[in-house]
Structure 1
Amino acid sequence: MVITSKIKSVDFFRKIPRDLTEASLSGAGLSLMAAFSMMFLFGMELHNYLDITTTTSVIVDQSSDSDFLLIGFNLSFPALSCEFASVDVSDVLGTNRLNITKTVRKYSINKHLESTGPEFDPVPTSTIIKHDVKVDEEYGEGSVTLNSQNFDKIAHQYSVLVVNFYAPWCDWCNRLKPSWEKAAKIIRERHNPETDGRIILGKVNCTEERDLCRSLFSHHVQAYPSIRIFRRGSDVRDEHGNHDHESYYGDRNTDSLVEAMEHLVAPNNSESRKLSLHDRYGQSKVFEKRPAPREAGCRIEGFVRVKKVPGSIIVSPRSESHSFDASQINMSHVISSFNFGKKVTPKTMSDLKRLRHYIESHDKLAGKSYINVEDHADVTIEHYLQVVKTEVMSSSYQLIEDYEYTAHSSLVHALTIPVAKFHFEPSPMQILVTEDPKSFSHFITNVCAIIGGVFTVAGILDSLLHNTMRLAKKIELGKTF
């Protein structure tokens, strides 16, 4: 009992018998106000504890020389054929990569930017096209001249019609002309058009027959010379008026042209992409052909890896054996997406959804259209992008990389072949966003401070109110007596 009494002597919370306490209406009101105040302040403290607070700082980019920058894009060009569309990359260090195909895909699209078929065949053709050094004999005019009035008639008259779409000012066309006419003359002698009717070679002057060459619903010829193969029966127009035919990419010397034409009318001719014959020495000779674009437009999507230095991504018509008319090249385009860095995976986004504001997409060019409406198509469209790296560090020390950029665009007259340029310039500085961790013990301390503080203040107010009311009653009683 003595020990129990000693322990009771250190009780900080001594109790007053309930019979000695008195309830009051003012005390009840203050108690309710104190309870609501505690609940409100507790909710505010809980919200502050659960809320995300970050610290933002600007530091020098810590990337090493071995780090590369990933650039992803999805671009639609309504007037650029996939046949010649090329994606090139260059930078200030001298890097110059032409016609990237490994990480880039192309799809033919119509004027409504809708895909009209599977991926455009990415198989590269031969970069060195053979031409005759000199044609000894007088070749004359072996091919038939075609125009918009007689094209369809002749195409349905012969089983195979091979057409050379050319321009008189084109150097490659002038190199092909003697070989083409000589080959056409040889084919005429072997397969008389009047009696045989299996094959004939023709030509179209695209400076005079622009509608036939460039019409949106015709042959979509965008480079010269373009050799197209039309087959009667299989070459029909669909509901949009498009021809179904093939493009020839083989050698342009007389012997190769003649052999390729002979193979087209051979009894067991296959429809393979590469027509293989054996010459007199037993060597394999390949004539490359593939389906011609069904539409005049092209959607280009994919990604490239570049060094973190100023550089450019250039989309342009390119060919080592064709000529382009700058006044007819229209580089208008619609940007579906253009972003830097790796995309954050859905799992990471789910794990770090509280930091979504800092790592969501910052694609400033997405959904924008750049259409050339001038009389001449020879306009280059340039975009200047300044890129800033952002690193987000979560409270669990998970690091996420993101990139933001500003974009400025302009249309300028092209002195040579029009292109679409995306100039990018990575900033030497980067932004570091760090999530500030919250201490649970600090949260508990604040909750206790709220409860104790409100209880104490309420007690003081109750005491002041109670004593004031007692004093008022005494004064009132004093006046009465």
Structure 2
Amino acid sequence: MVSTTKIKSVDFYRKIPRDLTEASLSGAGLSIVAALAMVFLFGMELSNYLAVSTNTSVIVDKSSDGDFLRIDFNVSFPSLSCEFASVDVSDVLGTSRLNLTKTIRKVPIDAHLRATGAEFHSTTGLDLINHGDEDHHENNSYAAIPLTGATFDKFSHHFPILVVNFYAPWCYWSNRLKPSWEKAAEITRQKYDPEDDGRVLLGSVDCTEEPTLCKRNHIQGYPSIRIFRKGSDLREDHGHHEHESYYGDRDTESLLKMVEELLKPIKKEDHKLPLDGISVNTASSIKKAPVSGGCRIEGYVRAKKIPGEVVISAHSGAHSFDASQMNMSHFVTHLSFGKLISERLLTDMKRLLPYLGQSHDRLNGKWFLNQGQFAANVTIEHYLQIVKTEVVSRRFGQEHSLIEEYEYTAHSNVAHSYYYPVAKFHFELSPMQVLISENPKSFSHFITNVCAIIGGVFTVAGILDSIFQNTIRLVKKVELGKNI
């Protein structure tokens, strides 16, 4: 059995009895300084150990989100009605998706971008409706009562139901509707005599002759059939009119059926009474029209990761538009690509922000206007070049992605067009991606440095203390020699 004495012989830290040691004031001061230096250097080493060390490289895109790219947007158009606003997506391979609605919301807004109503639901099937009877009139005038800015309010408040066709003589669809509208107006006048019955009247407004009246009622497509009810056609919030619009078939029979549906709840003897509070059950083809001339379009679309474009425009399979009166000025509230980064994730990973390019909001909060003397037929285009940035962590011997985002640069331009003005967002995704890798520091390296700090400071302090003490002794000897 090994004796205790032999074990003690391998002691690296042999002790000197306290009776043989002497404490000094200078030694105590140096010990305090050394301790503070150890704490300071330890804090710096710990901060360096916890700091994120990264390196950046450019590699071929190895996206984990598949072959499709999500595009989120929130864009406001003060002069484009939700009634006709359309979002289309296409790419260089010829894939086109028109008038997307499933993931898109449209909210009517005023000139100050404030919402003026609930979400507007697009009317579908306009390209399948019956567009009217064969032309049975040789003249070009409408048989319906022509309304002007001076007579419109008078008629709209006199008749419980006023159905108005806002048209343009040059419009193909207006001319298709004209025979049916004339015949329906004639039959309606005979059946519901304005002087005897007085419950309904069919009128028409030529928007080329009455542009102010059409603008006041937010008419952007021709023809637009609007329904005004006495007592409810009052100015509401923001000074807009409440009205309904007819989107059904445009043959004579369908128009007369619409009139019959509108008159069902109104008795002949009560037509002079106010209609406030009356609930009218009309055909499904009669719907609320937007109460303002602007639209906020928000939502997302998915596109292939190849060059393509998102186009926002006025579109209808049964209306014409006056390109010279269209204004595609817009305000971009938000535009981003890829998965949205949640606020919680950004909060938890603030250390990553310095390594991200912060260029994913190049268009956010900006106006794009077409104005001046050459403002007609102006298309606004945005060219977006997109690159993916990914931050990868290699801690604990495993590699996993912490965050992925798509950054982009944007160049915008306005151009005159021979077609209807639109707002185009061209996008092109780079086949390369920026890879930012986190390089964690070794814990053993951290411990080694801490030990080096403690041992080094202790040793240096001991050397300084020894030099100080020897200097004091030498000075005392010199002084003692002089005295002798």
TM-score, normalized by length of structure 1?
Answer: 0.90
CA–CA distance in structure 1, aligned partners of residues 22 and 177 of structure 2? 115
Partner in structure 2 of residue 195 of structure 1: 196
- Displacement of 1:172 in angstroms is 1.6
Partner in structure 1 of residue 472 of structure 2: 469
Q: Given residue 332 of structure 1, which amino acid in structure 2 is its aligned partner?
A: S
- Displacement of 1:320 in angstroms is 1.2
- Displacement of 1:263 in angstroms is 2.8
Could you say if the C-alpha distance between residues 267 and 479 of structure 1 is closer, same or farther in structure 2, counting changes exceeding 3 Å?
Answer: closer
Q: Given residue 412 of structure 1, which amino acid in structure 2 is its aligned partner?
A: A
8 A Cα contact 2:224 2:245, kept in partner? yes
Partner in structure 1 of residue 371 of structure 2: 373
- Displacement of 1:480 in angstroms is 3.9
User: SS state of the match for residue 3, structure 2?
Assistant: helix
8 A Cα contact 2:34 2:457, kept in partner? yes
8 A Cα contact 1:105 1:122, kept in partner? no
Q: Given residue 5 of structure 2, which amino acid in structure 1 is its aligned partner?
A: S
User: SS state of the match for residue 453, structure 2?
Assistant: helix
- Displacement of 1:351 in angstroms is 5.2
Partner in structure 2 of residue 113 of structure 1: 113
Partner in structure 2 of residue 388 of structure 1: 387
User: SS state of the match for residue 117, structure 1?
Assistant: coil
What whole-Å deviation, never above 9, does each CA across 1:90-134 have from its counterpart, x for those lacking one?
111111111000100101111221112211123424322323462
Could you say if the C-alpha distance between residues 335 and 146 of structure 1 is closer, same or farther in structure 2, counting changes exceeding 3 Å?
Answer: same
Q: Given residue 316 of structure 1, which amino acid in structure 2 is its aligned partner?
A: S
8 A Cα contact 2:330 2:368, kept in partner? yes
CA–CA distance in structure 1, aligned partners of residues 55 and 324 of structure 2? 54
Where in structure 2 are the equivalents of 1:68-467 lying within 5 Å? 68-132=68-132, 134-136=134-136, 141-214=142-215, 218-267=216-265, 271-272=280-281, 274-275=283-284, 288-345=285-342, 348-349=345-346, 352-357=349-354, 362-375=360-373, 376-394=375-393, 395=395, 397-399=399-401, 400-467=403-470
User: SS state of the match for residue 240, structure 1?
Assistant: helix
CA–CA distance in structure 2, aligned partners of residues 131 and 227 of structure 1? 13
Partner in structure 2 of residue 285 of structure 1: none
What whole-Å deviation, never above 9, does each CA across 1:1-29 have from its counterpart, x for those lacking one?
98111111111111122222233343233
% identical equivalent positions: 62
8 A Cα contact 2:69 2:303, kept in partner? yes
Q: Given residue 87 of structure 1, which amino acid in structure 2 is its aligned partner?
A: V
What whole-Å deviation, never above 9, does each CA across 1:162-203 have from its counterpart, x for those lacking one?
111111221221222222212211211222122111111111
> Which blocks of at least 5 consecutive residues in structure 1 are unaligned?
276-287
CA–CA distance in structure 2, aligned partners of residues 74 and 65 of structure 1? 22
CA–CA distance in structure 1, aligned partners of residues 174 and 106 of structure 2? 27
CA–CA distance in structure 1, aligned partners of residues 365 and 483 of structure 2? 86
Q: Given residue 135 of structure 1, which amino acid in structure 2 is its aligned partner?
A: D
Q: Given residue 80 of structure 1, which amino acid in structure 2 is its aligned partner?
A: L
RMSD: 2.4
CA–CA distance in structure 2, aligned partners of residues 435 and 242 of structure 1? 57
User: SS state of the match for residue 474, structure 2?
Assistant: helix
Moved more, 78-87 or 368-377: 368-377
User: SS state of the match for residue 169, structure 2?
Assistant: coil
Where in structure 2 are the equivalents of 1:38-49 lying within 5 Å? 38-49=38-49
User: SS state of the match for residue 238, structure 2?
Assistant: coil
Moved more, 125-134 or 194-203: 125-134
> Which blocks of at least 5 consecutive residues in structure 2 are unaligned?
268-278
Moved more, 417-426 or 125-134: 125-134
8 A Cα contact 2:222 2:319, kept in partner? yes
CA–CA distance in structure 1, aligned partners of residues 280 and 151 of structure 2? 27
What whole-Å deviation, never above 9, does each CA across 1:58-98 have from its counterpart, x for those lacking one?
11112489521001011111111000000111111111111
Moved more, 114-123 or 469-478: 469-478
What whole-Å deviation, never above 9, does each CA across 1:314-357 have from its counterpart, x for those lacking one?
11111111111112111111111111111234554465454355
CA–CA distance in structure 2, aligned partners of residues 299 and 412 of structure 1? 23
- Displacement of 1:137 in angstroms is 5.6
Q: Given residue 85 of structure 2, which amino acid in structure 1 is its aligned partner?
A: A
User: SS state of the match for residue 57, structure 1?
Assistant: strand
Moved more, 337-346 or 157-166: 337-346
Partner in structure 1 of residue 276 of structure 2: none
User: SS state of the match for residue 461, structure 1?
Assistant: helix
Say how many residue pairs are matched. 466
